[in-house]
Structures are given as structure tokens and as C-alpha cells.
Amino acid sequence: MQESYIENKKIFQKVIGEIIKKHRKQTGKSISLLSAEIGMTKSMWADLEKGIKDPQLSTLWRICEGLNLNISEILKEIEETLGENFTFTE
């Protein structure tokens, strides 16, 4: 069970990163600019986009504000991308 959780967490983080990156590119803003606008380090933002970090909800909220999105939009996109069968539990 632990292996499944770890693997699913990696998938989850990767999906979040891909979605954040997609929306950042749509804004035409760099990591440097957006991270400065929301008070986050460039390395933290880059790690999120790479799927290395698992953002706290408050961090994800700040990112959404920087991208001019509602948090519900990002959460829905994450949910749709992962699919209805995705779970952290068995």
C-alpha cells in the first residue's frame, strides 16, 4: 500500500506541475516574474512545475492568484486530468 501511495503522489505532483506550467505559459510570464509577484522563490516555483514539490493548499491558492485563476478551476483541471479512478487509498 505504501508503494502505491508514493507512486500516486508522484503522479499527482506531476499533474499539478504540468497544469501550473501550462497556465503560466498562457500568461506569457516567466517563472521569475510570477514567483516575485506572489512572494515565492523561483526555485520553489520551478520545483512545483517539475513535479518535485507537493504544494500546500495555501501555496496553490497563491499560485492561482498569480495566474488569475480561481482555485476551483485548477482543482477541477487536476481532477479531470487524473481521472475519476485516481485515489491515494486502496
User: What digits encode the pLDDT tens for the residues 3-47?
Assistant: 899 999 999 999 999 999 999 999 999 999 999 999 999 999 999
Cβ-count burial 48-76 (b if 16+ within 10 Å, e if not): bbebebebeeebbebbbebbebeeeebee
pLDDT for 81 equals 97
pLDDT for 1 equals 61
pLDDT for 42 equals 96
pLDDT of 90 > 90? The answer is no
pTM: 0.91
